[in-house]
Amino acid sequence: MDNMIARRSGAAAEAARRLVRAGAPDRELALRRYGALAEKYHQRTATGDHFRRQVVARLAPLPGEVILDVGCGTGLNFKAIRDAVGPGGRLIGVELSPRMLDVARARIERHGWANVEVVQADVAEADIPATADATLLCAVHDVMRSPSALANVLDHLRDGARIVAGGPKWARWTRSDGLSSNFATWRMNRECVTTFEGFRRPWSHLEHLVEDLVVDEVFGGGGYIACASSRWSGPAAAAA
């Protein structure tokens, strides 16, 4: 009986895996999805507010620092970062979707943040106008699965800059609740990512570009926060 249950569970898990996309990030699909989500993005992702605060706390921005918020979306992390760096610091958000940035710019104007700016571009091609002290990659799975995007970000960090990435991931499928947990994760994220490739270890490309990545799994394995501070090894590492 136990073997039969195990076989059925394994078959169910395999069927669930086939539900998700396994290709590379899709830029045009991302533009369409985030354009449609822009006005309601905060409401759509409000359950992630506590996690966003956790990730910013791990980044620990300091007064006067230059911070990159990669895939900044509508600027949901701006206030926490800007409060930390103060008026003498600088915050630069990079975001692909122009409609998401419309909401972010309105947020900046509403708060009167003269030292917060945004760049509308694919992260892999963005001309980032600074060398930063730290970078945040919060809930940006598509960026995490693009070595060229990660390389461009790291190329705009000073030596020893802090790197913090965090987001959802698959919990172990072999857990007793693995299927139900991952199905819930899929439902929550299917509109916010264009690929589930690498969703078991979203940080796998980043760990080849930095020397000291430390990963903590959170939410029972359904999320992660990855931190590093070492300088990357250069273009050769990105191509490896």
- DSSP for 57-77, written as a single string: HHH---TT-EEEEET-TTTTT
Cα separation, 90 vs 66, in Å, equals 5
167 in a domain, yes or no? yes
How many structural domains compose the chain? 1
pLDDT > 50? residue 21: no
Kindly report the CATH number assigned to the domain that includes residue 54. Answer: 3.40.50.150
The residues near 89 (Cβ < 8 Å, ≥ 6 apart) are: 61, 62, 63, 64, 65, 66, 67, 82, 115
What is the overall mean pLDDT for the chain?
A: 88
**Segments forming the whole domain that contains residue 38:** 21-239
Q: How far is Cα 145 from Cα 25, in angstroms, rounded to an integer? A: 7
pLDDT tens-digit profile of 51-86? 999 999 999 999 999 999 999 999 999 999 999 999
Q: How many other β-carbons are positioned within 10 Å of the β-carbon of residue 178? A: 19
- 228 sits in which H/E element: strand 223-228
Predicted pLDDT at 229: 83
Sheet order of strands, 157-168 included: 116-120, 90-95, 66-70, 132-138, 157-168, 223-228, 214-218
Assess if residue 3 is contained within a domain.
Answer: no
Q: Is residue 132 part of a domain?
A: yes
- The answer to whether position 40 is within a domain reads yes
- Please indicate, yes or no, if residue 13 is contained in any of the structural domains: no
Nearest to 141 by CA among 24, 18, 12, 11: 24
* pLDDT at residue number 10: 54
Rg value, the chain, Cα: 18
Residue 70 domain-assigned (yes or no): yes
pLDDT 10s digits, 188-210: 899 999 999 999 999 999 999 99
Which tokens hold the place of 118?
């945004």
pLDDT beyond 50 at 218? yes
**Ramachandran region of residue 142, left (φ > 0), alpha (ψ -120 to 50) or beta?**
alpha
What are the structure tokens assigned to 119, written together? 């760049």
Percent of the chain exceeding pLDDT 70 equals: 86
Considering the domain boundaries, does residue 168 fall inside one?
A: yes
Q: What is the pLDDT of residue 19?
A: 44
Do the domain assignments include residue 204?
Answer: yes
